[in-house]
Amino acid sequence: MAAPGSLGLLQAPSFAAAKCRPAAATSRGAARAVFAVRASAGSAAAKDAVLRPFRENRALKIISGLQNFDRSNVASVVTAADKGGATHVDIACDQDLVKLALELTNLPICVSSVDPSAFQSAVEAGAQMIEIGNYDSFYDAGIEFSSEQILNLTRETRKMLPDITLSVTVPHTLSLPDQMRLAELLEEEGADIIQTEGGKCSSPTKPGVLGLIERQHQHWQPHTPSHGPSVYR
């Protein structure tokens, strides 16, 4: 749902990217990573190839925009991602766009949507990864997603596509404790990758230290991109 050529909430005329970085493993009860990759037992070779850059702490996913169906713009973003050293490219969930992207790059193609029924045709066209996320255009329209809605979308998607690599974004509009709990539940529901967002503005809901953490979380990077750094655990 990023604007054409942007990454998540970052609105820009050219594409942007969020570098995926590792973090040391944490003990039970310690702070959770903001982006987690779940190693799925029995993964096929294709799925392993999609997840390998995350495991090797070098993943860099470029987003053209969930609602960006401009073939010329998408082609430009995909080509730039390919030449710029990205490991994945994320486009709107459209089978024709998937076919276009496959003509331009050998990078794994991820498609984003909040409609589980839309994924099947894109996967059949060659998408190797799907994402429930890129919510920013909904925020602009005053629409937010609850934890239960995200969980239901994840369950429905996993039921239809049990083996595909699945990324799910935790909405930044939830409180930090709710974000952490949702991430745990998403892992239980079979999400392979869990992402967080950075907000467009700082409006902590808690006082004291937790409020400061919320403020810092919402300003993860200078330009507040939607997807924060990724961490494999």
| Tens of pLDDT, residues 30-79 | 344 344 444 433 357 889 999 999 999 899 999 998 889 999 999 999 99
Contacts for 169 with CB less than 8 Å, ≥ 6 apart: 131, 132, 133, 134, 135, 194, 195, 196, 197, 226, 227
Rounded Cα–Cα distance for residues 111 and 93 (Å) = 5
CA dihedral sign, ordered 15, 147, 48, 31: positive
Q: At 204, is the pLDDT very low, low, confident or very high (cuts 50, 70, 90)? A: low
Report the distance separating Cα 153 and Cα 29, nearest Å: 27
- The residue among 198 and 42 whose pLDDT is bigger is 198
pLDDT for position 165: 95
What's the whole-number average pLDDT of the chain? 76
> Which residues lie closer than 8 Å to 6 by C-beta, 6 or more apart?
12, 15, 16, 63, 65
- CA neighbours within 13 Å on the CB side: how many for 160? 17
Residue pair 58/20 in contact by the 8 Å Cβ criterion: yes
Please give the single-letter amino acid code of residue 31: A
More confident residue, 158 or 215: 158
Q: Which domains, ranges and CATH numbers included, belong to the chain?
A: 31-218 (3.20.20.70)
Q: Are strands 88-92 and 60-63 parallel, antiparallel or unpaired?
A: parallel
| Dihedrals phi, psi of 18, to nearest 5 degrees | -115, 120
The whole-model pTM stands at 0.69
